Amino acid sequence: MNKTSSGPVRTAVLVVLGVIWLAPVYLLVVNASKAVDAYDPAAVWKPSGFSLFANFQDAWEKASLGGTLLATTLYSVVAPVLAVLIGAAVGYAIVALRLKYGFVWFVFIFGGTIFPLQMVLMPLFSGYASSGLYDTRVGMILVYTAISVPFSAFVMRNFFTGIARSVFEAAVVDGGGLFRIFRSIYVPMAGSALAAIFILQATFVWNDLLLGLTLSQSESVRPIMPALTGLQSTYGGAALPTVLAGGLLVSLPTVVLFLAAQRFFSRGLALGQF
C-alpha cells in the first residue's frame, strides 16, 4: 500500500477509534443532563432535555462535596509538590552527587511500587490508628506523598542521567554549593519534567478512592471521591442522572488541569525519555 492510499485509511481508522473512545463521554454527558424524572434506562443514547446544572447542584448538596473540596485540593497540591521535590532530590543525589550505593537506594525507593496497595492497607490502617494520624489531613498528606515519591524519583533519575556531567563539574569549579547547584541549575533545567510529574500525581490524588475510604472518616478530612460514593448507596441512593452529574462535576478540575498544562505535560514526558 503506497503513501497516497494509506493516508485516508489511517484517517478513517483514527476517526473510528476516536468515536469509540468518546462514546462513554457522550453517554456520561447526555445522561447527566437528563431530568431525574425523565430518565429512561432504555433510551440512554437519546438526548432528552437539559438539566445538567440542576443535577450538579443536587449532587453537590446530597454528597456534601463542598466540605471535601478544600481537603482534596490541599492533598492534590501539597502532596505532589512534596513528592516532586523529594524525587528531584533523590535523582540529583544518585546521578549528580554519585551517592554511594545509589542504585541500591533507588531500587529500595522504587521497590515500594512493587506490591499492590491493597496488601498494605491493614498495616497502614493499624499504624495510622495507633499513631493518631487516622482521619487527619496531615496523615492523608503523608501517605499521598509517600506513594507519589517512587514514580517521581524514577522519572527524575532518568532525566538527570541525560544532563552532561560537565554541567555539575563546571558549577563546582565556579564555587557553587551542592544545594545551590540543585536549586539554581538542576531544578530549572527539569522544570517541564517536574510539571509533568506534578500533573500525573495530582490527578492520582484527586481521583483516589481506596485510601480516602480507609484512612479518613470526617467530612473535613475525607477526599472528594469517597464523598461521591455516598450518592450510590444501596439505601436512599440518588437517581442515576444525579450520580453521573456528580462524577462529571468532580472530574472537571483534572480535565482543566490537563488542558491548561498540556504543553508542559507533553514536553516533560519527552524530556523524561533519556
Output the pLDDT for position 121: 86
Examine the pLDDT at 271 and tell me if it is beyond 80: no
Q: Which one, of 92, 69, 107, lies nearest residue 189 by Cα? A: 92
Residue 234 has pLDDT above 50, yes or no: no
Top-confidence range, 140-144, 169-173, 197-201:
140-144
Residue 235 — very low, low, confident or very high, per pLDDT cuts 50/70/90? very low
Give the span between the Cα atoms of 185 and 196, in whole angstroms.
Answer: 18
Q: What is the mean pLDDT of residues 257-263?
A: 78
Q: Are 199 and 265 in contact (CB under 8 A)?
A: yes
Give the chain's mean pLDDT: 84
Phi and psi at 40, nearest 5°, equal -130, 115
Instruction: Report the predicted TM-score, pTM, of the whole model to 2 decimal places.
Output: 0.84
> Over 60: is that where the pLDDT of 190 sits?
yes
**Backbone φ and ψ of 119, nearest 5°:** -70, -25
Query: Count of CB atoms within 10 A of residue 245's CB?
Result: 30
Cβ contact 210:120 at 8 Å:
no
Instruction: Please determine, for residue 123, whether its predicted confidence score (pLDDT) is greater than 60.
Output: yes
Is the pLDDT confidence value at 159 over 50? Answer: yes
pLDDT in tens, 206-219: 999 889 988 988 88
Residues 6+ apart with CB under 8 A from 199: 257, 258, 261, 264, 265
Q: Are 124 and 215 in contact (CB under 8 A)?
A: yes
Cell of 94: 544518585
Judged against a pLDDT cut of 60, whether residue 25 lies above it is answered with yes
Model confidence at 80, in pLDDT bands (50, 70, 90)?
A: very high
What torsion do the CA atoms of 152, 154, 156, 159 make, to the nearest 10 degrees? -150
What is the spatial distance between Cα 156 and Cα 191, in angstroms, rounded to a whole number?
A: 11
Cα dihedral 26→28→32→35 (10° resolution)? 60
In this prediction, residue 66 carries a pLDDT of 82
